[in-house]
Amino acid sequence: MKKVLLVYLRPYYVRMALGFIVKFMGTLFDLFLPWLLAYIIDTVAPTGRRDLILQCGLLMALCAVGAFSFNVIANRMASAVARDATRAIRHDLFARIMRLSAAQTDEATKPSLISRLTTDTYNINQMLGRVQRLGVRAPILTVGGILITLTLDPMLTLILISVLPVIALLTVKISKFSIPLYRRVQEASDRLVRLVREDAAGIRVIRALSTGDTERARFDEVSREVVSCEREASGTMARIEPSTSMLLNSAQVAVILAGALRVASGKCEVGRILAFMTYFTIILNAVVNISKMFVVFSRAAASADRVAAIIDLPEDMTVLPPELSGSEPPKASPEAGVPAIAFDHVSFRYGHSGENALTDISFSLYPGQTLGIIGETGAGKSTLIRLLMRFYDPTEGRVYLFGRDAKTIPTSELRAHFGAAFQSDTLFEDTIAGNIRLGRPLTDAQVVEAARDAQAYAFVEDDKQGFDTGLSIRGNNLSGGQKQRVLIARALCGKPDIVVMDDSSSALDYKTDAALRAALRERYADTTRVMVAQRISSVAGADLILVLSGGRVLACGTHEQLLASCSVYQELYASQMGGLSA
Ligand code: ADP
């Protein structure tokens, strides 16, 4: 964890050093004040010279202003470094999260990624600020204070010094113990974020089914867990401060006792004892501050570990050089050329799950052809698409795109082949044009063309602002069918080589669905299309239809072939056609 912090602090070493120097000077002024006071009381005051006393008083005021100004400047510099370093950490963490493979995202979980990006980086920010503000000042005050008290009265200083190792040992021991406790606090807050995300996303169904009380109880439970973890961690750390104060206060009592005896016996002057006590208070505060620093440090150490765990994750979807692919590319057919998509005995299992989500899938699809995929929920349709777009690598077998092993194609090139619309895709808080374009360099004409093909043009143009109509978060100001059409326009925009639609026309009425299919047929004849659907009518015109069940290809062929040979397909057809005529 220290490594990750050091890497990010390196560019700020000069700024930090400057800040430390300013802080150092401010702290020296702080330390000089009580000494000056003792000097006035013991040396200047007895002479009775008012002008000298006034001069010394003025010097004290100057020191106080100096201490204040330097401390303020140094604190501002420290906050700026903490802010910039945290921004760099957050930036890199965000960039790494964007590049995580689907399997790595599954493993880390989205709520945990959110809290790493928010609370964990916040904890680091707090620590960087606090350590710079107090990390220099408190030790200088402690060491400087001890050195000055040694010159004032070495005997009394020894009493003070004797308790410091005990305090140091206590602080380090307790802090070490608390780091895993803070890790548990962060894990519990991951669960809290997950629940809030789920509830916020499902607020409508929660209201519709009046399950608010159940959700409140669930929230309460997780919330209690966060509180109890936090209580345990903070409770442990809270032991440091009272113990430190108690030890220091006991030492102070001893110092007062010994000091009184020494003044009484004439071995020491009152002014010195007064200065000594002031230094003692300064040292006491400094040591308490150091122990407080350990609290933020322990919390930030746990957070830095969690951030580093993501930033340091190795790339698990590396692009292989073609010669390492070790596979024979699929043969080109004399009539149709090289297949646009080929699956060669592909099997796949998610992360730690024991069962295959897909088993032994093989098929070839040539450029300009359409693949229809149909099957019950959980049959593996979406998984097949995820392998096709290389969100995951197959556990066995290979996926080929235009004759190349998908693993050998650089990610940006691979993704540029695709335009995809998924059922649960996100619409962003942006204009309709912005949502269709999605940051790609596409012209207005291409956006309008895609909207027209996706049957979205009519309803977009109906609106006063047309393509500049702003969408609310997740496109909540559109109907289900309108959302799907914007998503389909996004997939079609720029005429990619392969268009994938994963159950993305389910909310369209039959007429619009038919118009969409006709537009695809006529205007996207060269585009290879992959359509996942529940309705047979959506895939009936496909060149190849895969009927999936339990992750296996039950049957494949054209609509007519399947109608003639596949009983599952026949039943599906009968039920859907029956549904239509009813
Ligand atoms: P379909 O799209 O046909 O409804 P999926 O491809 O989504 O089916 O799912 C196929 C199987 O894989 C299901 O059993 C599902 O539970 C499992 N599955 C899907 N996604 C994941 C995931 N991210 N992690 C683990 N298992 C998954």
Query: DSSP labels for 387-412?
Result: HHTTSS--SEEEEEETTEEGGGS-HH
Assigned token pair, 353: 């799950």
The model's pLDDT over 341-378, given as tens digits with 9 standing for 90+, comes to 999 999 999 987 778 999 999 999 999 899 999 988 88
For a substitution probing ligand 1, which of 382, 501, 568 has the most ligand atoms within 8 Å of its CB?
382
How many angstroms separate the CA atoms of 206 and 214, rounded?
A: 9
Taking CA atoms only, the protein residue closest to ligand 1 atom 24 is 350
Helix (H) or strand (E) holding 132: helix 121-152
Please give the distance, rounded to the nearest whole angstrom, from the Cα atom of residue 204 to the centre of ligand 1: 25
pTM of the complete model: 0.77
How many other CB atoms sit within 10 Å of the CB of residue 287? 25
385 touches 530 (CB < 8 A): yes
Assigned token pair, 215: 């959700």
How many other CB atoms sit within 10 Å of the CB of residue 489? 28
Res 122: pLDDT: 94
DSSP 328-386: PPPPPBTTTBS-SEEEEEEEE--TT-SS-SEEEEEEEE-TT-EEEEEE-TTSSHHHHHH
3 state DSSP class of 455: coil
Question: What's the DSSP call for residue 465?
Answer: T
418 touches 498 (CB < 8 A): yes
How many angstroms separate the CA atoms of 434 and 425, rounded?
A: 15
* Ligand 1 closest atom vs CA 532: 2
How many other CB atoms sit within 10 Å of the CB of residue 15? 17
Taking CA atoms only, the protein residue closest to ligand 1 atom 12 is 357
Res 327: pLDDT: 67
Ligand 1 contact, 380 CB (< 6 A)? yes
Torsional sign, CA 222, 223, 227, 230: positive
- The residue assigned the tokens 């990010």 is 8
Least Cα distance to 36 among 148, 131, 112 occurs for 148
DSSP H helical ranges for 411-552: 411-416, 432-437, 444-453, 457-462, 480-492, 510-523, 536-539
Res 582: pLDDT: 34
How many angstroms separate the CA atoms of 151 and 132, rounded?
A: 29
How many angstroms separate the CA atoms of 56 and 7, rounded?
A: 47
Res 578: pLDDT: 61
Ligand 1 contact, 349 CB (< 6 A)? no
3 state DSSP class of 10: helix
Please give the distance, rounded to the nearest whole angstrom, from the Cα atom of residue 354 to the centre of ligand 1: 13
Q: Name residues of the chain where pLDDT drops below 70.
A: 1-2, 324-329, 332, 334, 336, 464, 578-582
Ligand 1 contact, 265 CB (< 6 A)? no
DSSP H helical ranges for 466-509: 480-492
How many angstroms separate the CA atoms of 306 and 90, rounded?
A: 12
Taking CA atoms only, the protein residue closest to ligand 1 atom 17 is 357
463 touches 433 (CB < 8 A): no
Taking CA atoms only, the protein residue closest to ligand 1 atom 5 is 380
Angle, in degrees to the nearest 10, between helices 154-201 and 121-152: 170
